[in-house]
Structure 1
Amino acid sequence: MSNPSNTPTAVSCLEQGGVILYPTEAVFGLGCDPDNQQAVEQLLVIKQRPVEKGLILIADNYGQLLKYVDDAKLPMDKRADIFSSWPAPITWVMPAAKSTPKWLTGQFDTIAVRVSNHPTVKRLCQEFGKPLVSTSANLTGQETVTSIAQAQLQFAEQVGFYVDEPLGGNTQPSTIKDAMTGKVFRG
């Protein structure tokens, strides 16, 4: 069962530039405000992830992602595949809008985005009013944490708020596909 009382505190943390830990479809994720460079840099330090790799944005609906995606570059024949696959644990790598900051895209001119059906993610994005940065809750190259207690041991005060709600029940992280070619980066 979700606990809506968690959300205002998690959203407050996001609004203040903090990093939160929250459940996704398969794993716990670290997230922050994608428009706050300092928050994204803090998340990258916590995770020990280089900015060049880029990050995923997770949203309640595609409309929340339009600011970051160059929607006009999506071919009509690819749109059916993309939009019929959501909401689900499928991340699409799309052309990034020119205004999308490099702290999100890294070395790429694309942005990885997902519309989630996880109730906690949906609620957080609705109440925050935009997508969240979403990256697995682990140090780069290490196993993802599997519980709030394990996360608190690993990240301690580096994470501003821990959303203690259930994972979505999937056993694998999201599939990542190229929106232009259909190529699978992670299956």
Structure 2
Amino acid sequence: MTLKDEIEKALTILKRGGLILYPTDTVWGIGCDATNAEAVDKIFKLKNRSDKKSMICLVHDFRMLNEYVEDVPEVAYDILKYADKPTTIIFDNPIRIAENLVADDNSLAIRVTKDEFCKKLIQKLRKPLVSTSANISGTPTPKSYSEIDPLILDGVDYIVNLHRDKKSGKPSTIIKLKNDGSVKVIRQ
């Protein structure tokens, strides 16, 4: 399978409101179109996760980030430009995103991905991609494809056929960035 083939197959599923299992720049993730509330709900059900726990979205660049966050604080660009590992930022006031993806405090965790597959898939989808670890809620995040629970494998509509032999990286650093300028590290 070529990268292009995998992007096309995943894109077809995402446009139909389906779920994909895919390698990200950190760990294997479950994804869907982040603007599709029904698809987001399927992920909560598959992971047996409370819809009060938020999930991460991936965008392909800063321009796309600005399309889905009302007001990106200037410091976000510096944090992301100088981060030496994948960094997710929780932003206030997301816009044009499925409501069930937005946290009760009207925030959303977004990462600008550097992974080639993810970047190209998101560019073609023209929408952010949900990215949540490929595990049942409360169980450890799988460190490789071979550790993913069969319930997850059976519960998605398509499994991307790339990097299955690669060990996953660590989950991303998560930083909460409030519009008042305050910065809080949630996960290092």
- TM-score, scaled relative to structure 2: 0.85
Which one is further off, 54-63 or 79-88?
A: 79-88
Distance 1:24 1:132 in 2: 11
1:144 maps to 2:141: yes
Distance 1:182 1:42, change over 3 A: same
Q: Does 1:153 align with 2:150?
A: yes
Sort the Cα spacing of 1:80 and 1:40 in 2 relative to 1 into closer, same or farther, 3 A.
closer
1:183 aligns with 2:181: no
Which 5+ residue runs of structure 2 have no aligned equivalent?
none
TM superposition shift of 1:83:
4.2
1:14 aligns with 2:14: yes
Aligned: 1:173 with 2:174: no
* 8 Å Cα contact 1:24/1:118 also seen in 2: yes
**Higher mean C-alpha displacement, 105-114 vs 29-38:** 105-114
Partner in structure 2 of residue 93 of structure 1: 90
Return the offset for 1:51. 1.3
Q: 1: CA distance between counterparts of 2:95 and 2:124?
A: 26
How far residue 6 of structure 1 moved from its aligned partner, in angstroms, is 1.1
RMSD: 2.5
Q: CA deviation at 1:173?
A: 0.5
Q: Distance in 1 between matches of 2:149 and 2:9?
A: 17
Q: Write the distance in 2 (CA, Å) between the matches of 1:152 and 1:83.
A: 32
What residue number does 1:128 align with? 125
**Contact map agreement 2:36 2:98 (CA 8 A) in 1:** no
**TM-aligned CA distance change 1:34 to 1:150, over 3 Å:** same
Whole-Å Cα distance in 1 between the matches of residues 86 and 157 of structure 2?
Answer: 25
- The unaligned stretches of length 5 or more in structure 1 are none
**Closer/same/farther in 2, CA of residues 144 and 157 from structure 1, 3 Å limit:** same
For residues 61-95 of structure 1, the C-alpha deviation after alignment (integer angstroms, 9 at most, x for no partner) is 122233321226x2x4x244234246951000111
Amino acid at match of 1:48: N
Alpha carbons of structure 1 residues 66 and 83: separation in structure 2 relative to 1, 3 Å: same
TM-score using structure 1 length: 0.86
Distance 1:99 1:13, change over 3 A: closer
More off after superposition, 20-29 vs 168-177: 168-177
**Preserved CA contact (<8 Å) 2:60 2:119:** yes
- Residue 43 of structure 2 is aligned to residue 46 of structure 1: no
Question: May I ask how many residue pairs the two structures share in their alignment?
Answer: 184
Deviation at 1:100, TM superposition (A): 4.1
